[in-house]
A = this chain, B = another copy of it.
Amino acid sequence: MIQSLKPISRSRVLDELDPVAGGGLIDRRYFLAGGAAIAGLLGSTSSSASTQDVSNALPPWMREPGYEPEGYGVPSPYERPVQRSIIQLYEDVAPSFRISGTPLEHLEGTITPNGLHFETHHSGVPEIDPGRHRLLIHGLVNRPLIFTVDDLLRYPTVSKTCFVECSGNSFFNTLPEPRQASCGTIHGLVSCSEWAGIPLALLLDEAGVDPDAAWLVASGADAAGYSRSIPLSKASDDTLLALYQNGERIRPEQGYPMRLLLPGWEASAAVKWVHAIKLTANPGYTRDETSRYSDLMADGSAHLFTFEMGTKSVITRPSPGLVLGGPGFYDISGLAWSGRGRIAKVEVSADGGQSWAEAVLQEPVLTQSLTRFRIPWRWEGGPIRLLSRAVDEHGHGQPSHEAWSRQRASNTRYHYNAIQAWQVQNDGRVENVYA
């Protein structure tokens, strides 16, 4: 879906504003101001009009009653092109296997609607009958327990808004040459929801944790028997057994009827369709965490259990696939996040990194959640390079592509969080480049 992004080309007073950095970045006070302060600030391409222009030809929906809605609503048919990016990872050996990224370039705000939440799996999405699903807690516990879904639905719940990001997100950018694809294809293995569920600590307390236990191995009820080891310290801290996603029961593709939620940690450890939790003294070194999801380094070592997701940011608009429709004012918009806490600052450059200006962060800025940033920009035409860099509340920022790559083995795909650069071409096309 190629979409033209038109600028606001006719402005009454915007030309008088001072730039704050090279390449056309404009003072973010523009966004911070209330209604009164921005009076007369902005021009547009809108047309002057009389009421006659509008009333002359009434469209059918203004003449005939509309439809009566159903019990569960769907998007407008005109929005059908807004779909998840389908990514075929192993086109040659497993053509039916695909994962899907959130189309970040088409979304606003920070919440991901459930239908567009990114999705990965290791043996398809199981369609689980909740009446037959069981959760077993066993291993180093005083009494092993089996819970039905009905059992669990009666437990006290808490909720938390946070991102979930695949540790393989942005893996296209670990390839030698930058892939030309949409922002959602490259970076869309991250989504953000309000999750609700049971503190896992409560259920572990039910079973009674043996003092020798330091880890748990969680397994999913998918046909892959997907299994991961999680430190008990995280499991008994802020880990949830999630049952709800943005208000409703979680979707099959996110683990229905239940999944683990590990705020700020790689999504691959937050086992979906979870049906067994075994308390252990040591990690399980499961197939899924040794053959995959370990970080291969340039010095030949492999880092295991690198759960925490780094600080990251990406400009979602403009981004590849969205074509700038000519010089003028654009609203640069993007997302930033950190597994460690809140985003403290996002800076944007419109001159390839020579100068930077601070973007506005949309309040409320929540810990371990997607944070929307924005900055106004005047494109004068001609090639230009847009970048964003975020810093979290603990001072952790983003490496350059070169610095990230230098530390890693050439065939590693995980935990890529380097600064993303988008190259705007003369004709308004936007390309993925390594800066």
Contact = CB atoms under 8 A, between A and B. Distances in A.
Interface of A: 5-8, 30-31, 34-36, 38-51, 53-54, 59, 61-80, 82-84, 86, 96-98, 100, 106-117, 119, 121, 123-134, 136, 138, 143-148, 150-151, 154-159, 161, 193-196, 199, 201-202, 204-206, 208, 221-223, 225, 236-237, 243-244, 246-249, 251-253, 256-257, 273, 275-276, 330-331, 333, 362, 364, 366, 372, 374, 376
Contacts of A75: 72, 114, 248-249, 251-252
B84 A237 contact: no
15 contacts: A34-B237, A35-B201, A35-B204, A46-B148, A48-B143, A49-B145, A53-B136, A62-B225, A66-B127, A73-B114, A78-B131, A107-B244, A107-B247, A111-B193, A111-B247
A276 B131 CA distance: 51
A206 to B, nearest CB: 5
A393 to B, nearest CB: 16
A61 B201 contact: no
A246 B113 contact: yes
Contact of A68 (B54, B124, B202): B124
- List the 7 shortest-distance A-B pairs measured between CB atoms, nearest first: A35-B201, A71-B83, A66-B124, A61-B126, A49-B146, A108-B196, A35-B236
B155 A62 contact: no
Contacts of A372: 159
Q: How many copies of this chain does the complex contain?
A: 2
Contacts of A38: 199, 201-202, 205
Nearest to A207: B46
A223 B64 contact: yes
Given A67-B127, A77-B127, A202-B42, A50 B144 contact: yes
A49 B366 CA distance: 40
Contact of A51 (B126, B136, B196): B136
B157 A333 contact: yes
A108 B333 contact: no
Contacts of A63: 223
B115 A74 contact: yes
A275 B71 contact: no
A79 B151 contact: no
A150 to B, nearest CB: 6
Contacts of A204: 35
Contact of A110 (B35, B119, B125, B194): B194
A290 to B, nearest CB: 22
Nearest to A4: B150
Given A49-B138, A364-B366, 13 more contacts: A7-B154, A35-B202, A39-B205, A44-B151, A50-B144, A59-B133, A69-B119, A70-B83, A72-B116, A75-B252, A76-B251, A112-B246, A154-B330
Nearest to A31: B156
Contacts of A256: 76, 78-79
B43 A206 contact: yes
Contact of A72 (B84, B145, B252): B84
Contact of A127 (B76, B147, B205): B76
B276 A221 contact: no
Given A66-B124, A100-B69, A117-B73, A129 B86 contact: no
Contacts of A156: 30-31, 331, 374, 376
A24 to B, nearest CB: 15
